[in-house]
Structure 1
């Protein structure tokens, strides 16, 4: 009887050790191809899911407006937030991890127009379509632009189409988001194929895209998983799966 009890206890402990930890992670509401709540996937979501899984953790993705992310972390509503949205999470007991993705915002123009953008003054007089909040983020470049030449939209899906139809001279967008929507736009009859020129104007700072964890061990497990995915080439494969041309 005693042996049976020991065996049962051993089996229970073994089964508990196999049970993965569920980790709730707050992502922004919607930003294809990085975050796609309707599919519970996206480049960023998939990388985080697989990085956590390396050490047996299971992702529970929570999607919310960016403004709510630091509040959710402060109130312990989630275990992890993707990006601190400008709030110092060290003060809230957070542990910063390595960024799973980087957002690289660039100016995009039609190559045939031969537009040169090397300084803020080069944007004066050009019709520019950007994302919400860009003017506040890049005041040196966008702060002096007039409202009749500059517009910000939350939905960036139409940017490739608008550029191809010459509705705007310049699009400000993350290069991978623009590439994704360009691929999607090719399915529409009004879309005109075009070559673009990318104009880098700021240096990407990885510090801006670091996730924050309440649990130091889970942070370490995530960093280890991320390193493993990078070394194996899996991260590139995830990017390619969303950005393959038709």
Structure 2
């Protein structure tokens, strides 16, 4: 057993190191970034974690900044970026129409069309959506292209909802024919909707869309360039792949890492 004085000394050194690290971190300038609301495995709002969140957070730290994250529905995020003191908006595409400095793509979502199997709905292409009631994620019209916009404009009923757990409730209760969203988000939210609707009903998913790549929208092009450099460094170091494995491997259990 080591002498008590040595143990105390080590404890004090550890505490001093942690304090200095905290001070150094606090001294970093703040970068204010808006994210969407809770949508595991990409955004886990209560824990400030998730695949989307952590990639941006790690890149921001490499830039020498401290991330100040806020969470808001996508449609409101667009308004806030236009009118508020926000440095960047995550999970964006040029098709949004917002002006600014778009980063390289840092993440991709796999959006699908989900239906109840018992309905016998078959969707061979995006245009087939025109014949059904559809509930999509917010800003889907901005992100899924012109063919999608033209199709759902002909739909008998179309809505974009947030938070996305609403989609699960609408589909399983039979209130809409089709929901549009990322397959992993839909799978995760089944556990939250299970107390209200029968999520054990068989579903069918149609891969009508290619992977949707998202970028971070910055006000400052120089900040965008620093983010791109940090993103490349994350990939070169293997950190990016580690983050992917942390969250995507966890989907087999339907849980979100803490």
Matches within 5 A, 1:22-171: 22-33=29-40, 34-53=42-61, 57-64=65-72, 65-71=76-82, 77-82=85-90, 83=92, 85-89=96-100, 94=101, 96-120=102-126, 122-134=128-140, 138-147=148-157, 150-171=158-179
Seen in structure 2, the aligned counterparts of structure 1 residues 50 and 119 have a Cα distance that, compared at 3 Å, is: same
Q: 2:24 aligns with which of 15, 19, 24?
A: 19
1:30-73, Cα deviation, whole Å (9 max, x unpaired)? 1422334444333311222234345664322133532235426x
Aligned length in residues:
218
CA contact (8 A) 1:103 1:174 kept: yes
| Distance apart, 1:190 and its partner CA | 4.0
Partner of residue 221, structure 1 = 230
Partner of 1:210: 215
Call closer, same or farther: CA 1:165–1:87 in 2, change over 3 Å.
closer
CA contact (8 A) 2:115 2:179 kept: yes
Unaligned runs of 5+ in 2: 1-19
Per-residue deviation at 1:221? 1.8
Give the alignment's Cα RMSD to 1 decimal.
3.4
- TM-score of the two chains, using structure 1 as the length reference: 0.69
Unaligned residue ranges in structure 1 (runs of 5+): 1-14
Q: Give the TM-score taking structure 2 as reference length.
A: 0.67
